[in-house]
Amino acid sequence: MLKILPALTLALILPAQADSCPEPAILDAAYTQTGLHGFNDGLLAVKKDGLWGFVNREGRLAIAARFEETQGFSEGKAAVKLNGLWGIIDSNGKILVQPRYQNARRYFSGLLPVSKNGKDYLALDHHGRETELPRWDVRPDTPLHKFHTEDFSKIGYKDHNGNIVVAALYERGVNHFSEGMAAVRKNGLWGFIDAEGNERIAPRYTLPQGQWDISFSNGLAKVALDGKIAFIDKQGCTSLQQK
């Protein structure tokens, strides 16, 4: 017999108690935008007066806002744009590779995909050495796989053997797993389930403006609550919120 776990199982066992959560740190209202990738390497990209910098998990400025664009941190490095060109900085804001590239993607597996002189992308290490762009075989952690109802209106989850773990209760959306959790949507609001199909955080959030997905990174997920940006942990506690 297939074992179907009701979506509210864990929510009933381990409900997130708002009064048990510590007071969240405050994100200054002067930051008009935050990076789509959320926190990485303990840093969050923020925009102030048209330029990008980085704050830490307490909302304190760690790297001054002086960049025109950034791809956010990954593996302790971030691609940043200065004077119209891309280079690399470390988590202290030190420039490792001087900006000289027309385009850049996100730092990954020790390499930064960049392009210059209108040519195809090549790979750049943090010493500035250029090499051919490798063909990466990325296999994200996907403990459960989505399935949908016949009318495509709802989704559920199956394990690798095709057994239904979560009944088709949730609305369609981008629902991949990240750090053992997947965002799910019900009645237009977003919450999270774990890899066993238990609903860990009840749906109560909306998508931040300009964002098409919600996922955990560095233990925090970027959400919108009452129209304001917030970063929640895996217990549903708000760690950092917009002023």
CA 107 to CA 240: how far, in whole Å? 25
Together in a domain, 166 and 98:
no
Q: Are the C-beta atoms of residues 236 and 230 closer than 8 Å to each other?
A: no
SS3 (DSSP) at 10:
helix
Query: Do 122 and 196 share a structural domain?
Result: no
User: Are 14 and 38 members of one domain?
Assistant: no
Choose the final residue of a domain: 64, 98, 131. 131
98 and 15 in a single domain? The answer is no
- Average pLDDT by stretches of 10, the chain with 243 residues: 45 52 92 90 96 97 98 92 95 95 83 78 84 58 76 84 86 78 91 90 91 87 92 94 86
Q: Which of 131, 160, 188 lies at the terminal end of a domain, its last residue?
A: 131
- In this structure, is residue 234 part of a structural domain? yes
- pTM over 0.85? The answer is no
Q: What is the pLDDT of residue 143?
A: 75
Q: Tell me, yes or no, whether 116 lies in a domain.
A: yes
Report the first-to-last Cα separation within the chain, whole angstroms: 50
Residues 105, 57 within the same domain:
yes
Domain hosting 106: range is 31-131
| Residues 41 and 117 both lie in one domain | yes
Tell me the CA distances in angstroms from 214 to 19, 25, 94, 159, 174, one per residue in order: 24, 20, 30, 22, 8
Task: Report if residue 176 sits inside a domain.
Answer: yes
Q: Is 127 in the same domain as 179?
A: no
How many domains, the chain? 2
Residues 79, 158 within the same domain: no
CATH code of residue 225: 2.40.128
Q: What pLDDT, on a 0 to 100 scale, did the predictor assign at position 64? A: 98
Note whether residue 1 is domain-resident: no
Enumerate the H helices of the chain as residue ranges: 9-13
Task: Single out the residue in 131, 166, 181 at which a domain terminates.
Answer: 131
- Name the DSSP class of 2: -
